[in-house]
Structures are given as structure tokens and as C-alpha cells.
Amino acid sequence: MRRTPLELAAVATAAVPGLAPTATAYSPDDDADFDSALLLDAEGKRWRVRSPRHLEASTRLETEFMVLRAFAPAIRAELPFHVPTVAGTVRQGALTTFVYAHLQGSTLSIDELSAGSPALAHEIGNALAAIHDLPLALVNNADLPSYSANEFRQRKLNELDQAATTGKIPATLLRRWEHALEDVALWRFNTSVVHGDLHEDNLMVQDDTVTALTGWTDLRIGDPADDFAWLVASNEASFVEAVLSRYTEARRDTPDAHLLRRAALLAEFALAQYLVKAMAVGHEDMTSEAVSMLQSLAADIEEQARHDEAVLAAEQAAAAEAESAAVQDASNPQASTQQPAVTVVAIPDAGAAVSVAPLPPTSPKELPHAEAAGNDALPGAVTVTAPDKSTEGPISRPQGASAASPSPRQETDAGNQASPAGDDASTAALNVVNVTPLHAGERS
């Protein structure tokens, strides 16, 4: 039975001596595993209470307690964010409730984060890089899980087999995930420390700054793509790219090229894990919700596949048409020759032939106008009338016309020569589909 924030406040007073809560409020958390609340005391200090709902959740909180103790002051000082501090615990039967000194900031939804400023994406990228650059000894010394790349892939294959036994996973998804998990090249990466349960409810934000990260119950050595799955599920490509860009700059090691592809797979596969978990605890509402989300995801993937096939068919048809045209051009090069446009100017008509004969000498009396003409009219001078220059306007050959084709002018004037011809003018990547982000209570 779920406990109210008021009941959790009463438990917290037993965990932290002297704590006197004056106000309580609900705190977002993994609702299937924990009851959580925020408390405010008389001095204005805030506290967070996490109480497990079953034995496995209690074990996770105890693991987190070991992790937080492993964060020595020197390690905490190097992180760009704060990590929780356990203020007290109280055991109730087999379950242990933890009270934490509350951290500054508040949680935002995935939509609010993805719609935030570039500075916020920059901050998230820095936080992810800081986690993945933590020393491996932090995990090994705490005796926490450690997986090689191949071990991590094999673990996911085992989980896929378990999910398939439910009989509720659409065949489209089973084939898609199996093919991705069998693509060995996709799973070549350098392992690192990973948070393991990173999502928006474990991210504390204030004024575009990541102030703290909580929920350290699944710290391990494994695939860094694990911590990107919740980002990919946001379906905001520009936001994810901005985070990844800053993450790549801040990391000491260069991330592998397939990180986001694996993150997309893990985001989808989280729905199958949710289904298995819901069925294990016998929660019918959670089971129905998981089945509905899986069917919706399968429908989106099938629709995307049909769209891709249509685009590919169109591209292939265009390529075939271009190839056919090229073959025809090669078999008939004269027909395919493109001639540049040519402007044809008609040659003026020369007019009638003119015979010129010298005039006989004359006396001044016979030239009454000679004196008036002055030196311009010389004896023996002949004035020749210029030929008639009235012609048709210029005729332009149409673009692409052959030089062998007669122009209109050439058809009417067979005696003219044709104008000269001009020179010749001569495994597919995983796509991120619309993945319904899991609510806080839907995550393991």
C-alpha cells in the first residue's frame, strides 16, 4: 500500500533525530519501486525521503548508500554537480527507508528540458561526460557490476529472450531488436562508469544549470549509451545533438560512432523491460499500458518502413529512367547532340550590277555647278548609289536545333550557305522513431 507524504514525514523523524517537519509534498520518483516525499523543517531546510515498496527496491537503496559513500570529497569536488548525502536511515522489517539532505534545484519534464536554452543542453553534456570519466576503481572498489562490451550485449540478448516468452511483444519489434543485437559492429565500444538510471526525474536544474544528480542505485561499468536512452526518447533531434556535441568535447575518450544508435535501441527495449517487470509483479494496469506502448511503437516502425520503401522505389525508378536515357543517347549520338543557340543574320541584297565608265572631259561651261561645288566635285568623280540594305530581321535557331536543319532564311534563299554549327555542349542505421517516454513510475 502506498504511503502518503505525511506518513513518510513521520518515518523521517525516526531516521533523523531532531528533524521536525513543518510541511510535506510529493516527490517524483520510480513510483513502482519507491514512495517519496519532500519535507520542510522549521529552519527552512529541505529533506527528501525514499521508502522502498519491496525487497528489490530496498536492496537498490542500500547499493546507492554504498555508492554515495564511495564518492570521496576529492571526487565530489571534481564533479560539475552535487550528489546526495544520506542524513539517516530507518529499518522497517526487511525494508530500509533513507532520508537525504535535499539538494538545490528542481526537476523538469523531458519536454521542458528539450525546449530549454542551448546553455542547458551544454550543462547536460558536461554532466554526462563527468559521469563517464569517473575512475573505474570507484565501481570496482564498491563491488558493483562490471560488464565488457560483449557481456553487455549478451545480457541484452538474454533479456530479449525473456521478453519474448511473454508472448506480448510484436514480431516486428522482436526481429528489429534481434538483428540489432546480432550486429557485432554496433557493440564495439569502450566501457565506462555509467549512472544506469539517468532520466529527467534524477536531474536537478536551476537557471539553466545542472545542480545535482540523484538516483545512484544502478551505478556500474557498462555501455555509455545507457545514459543517453532517455534523451533519444525525447524525439528532439536538435536537443540530443547539442548534448552529444558538448559531451564529445568534454570527454577524455572519443565516443564511438554508434553511441546514439545503441541508445535508440535501448530506449525502445525499455518498453519490453517495463512489460516484463509489470507482469512479474502482477500489475494489470501497468501490463496493459506496456502492451499498448509496444503496439504503438511497432505501428510507427512499420509506417516508417513503408515510407522508406516508397522513397527507395522512387529513387530506383528515377535512376532506371536516367540510365535508359543515357543508353539511348549513346546509341544515337547525333540526336543527343545539343547545339547552342545560333543567331543568323541575313546578307544584304547586292542589288543590280552597276557599270562605271569614265566621263569625257568637259569645259567649265558644261559644268554650271562645279564652281559652287568647290573641290568636292572633281573631274572624273563618280557618285555610286549604295545597294539596298533593307533586309529581314535576325532569325534565331531554337535551343537544341541541329545545324543540319535549314533556317527559314535558308529555305527562301537557296543560294546562301548554311551558317556553321556551334561546338557540342555537353545493416541499416537504427532510426529514432516516436518512442513514448516512460513516466517516473515506469522505469526500473
- Going by the DSSP 8-state scheme, the letter that residue 106 receives in this structure is B
For residue 44, the model assigns a pLDDT of 85
- Look at strands 95-101 and 46-52 and give their pairing: antiparallel
* Other residues' Cβ atoms within 10 Å of the Cβ of residue 439: 16
The pLDDT confidence band at residue 442, using thresholds 50, 70 and 90, is: low
For residue 308, the model assigns a pLDDT of 82
Stretch 227-243: mean pLDDT: 89
Q: What is the DSSP string of 281-330?
A: TT-HHHHHHHHHHHHHHHHHHHHHHHHHHHHHHHHHHHHHHHHHHHHHHH
For residue 352, the model assigns a pLDDT of 53
For residue 366, the model assigns a pLDDT of 47
Stretch 123-131: mean pLDDT: 96
Map 30-91 to HEC letters.
Answer: CCCCEEEEEEEECCCCEEEEEEECCHHHHHHHHHHHHHHHHCCHHHHHHCCCECCCEEEEEE
Residue 103 backbone zone (phi > 0: left; psi -120 to 50: alpha; other: beta): beta
Residue predicted with more confidence, 380 or 330: 330
Q: Which three cell numbers stand for residue 293?
A: 506502448
**Which secondary-structure segment (H or E) carries 241?**
helix 237-250
For residue 344, the model assigns a pLDDT of 54
* Other residues' Cβ atoms within 10 Å of the Cβ of residue 205: 21
Per residue in 266-280, pLDDT tens? Answer: 999 999 999 998 898
Residue predicted with more confidence, 444 or 263: 263
- Say what percent of the chain tops pLDDT 90: 44
Among residues 31, 38, 32, the alpha carbon closest in space to that of 6 is found at: 38
Q: How far apart are CA 381 and CA 305, in angstroms?
A: 94
The pLDDT confidence band at residue 357, using thresholds 50, 70 and 90, is: low
Per residue in 365-390, pLDDT tens? Answer: 444 444 444 444 433 443 434 444 44
Cell 525546449 -> residue? 115
What is residue 408's three-state secondary structure? helix
Q: How far apart are CA 150 and CA 129, in angstroms?
A: 22
Q: Exposed/middle/buried for 166, CB within 10 Å: 0-12, 13-18, 19+?
A: middle
List all residues 6 or more positions away from 53 whose beta carbon is below 8 Å from its beta carbon.
Answer: 2, 32, 33, 34, 35
Asked if residue 219 lies in contact with residue 257, where contact means CB atoms within 8 angstroms, the answer is no
The top-scoring range by mean pLDDT among 48-57, 128-137, 342-351 is 128-137
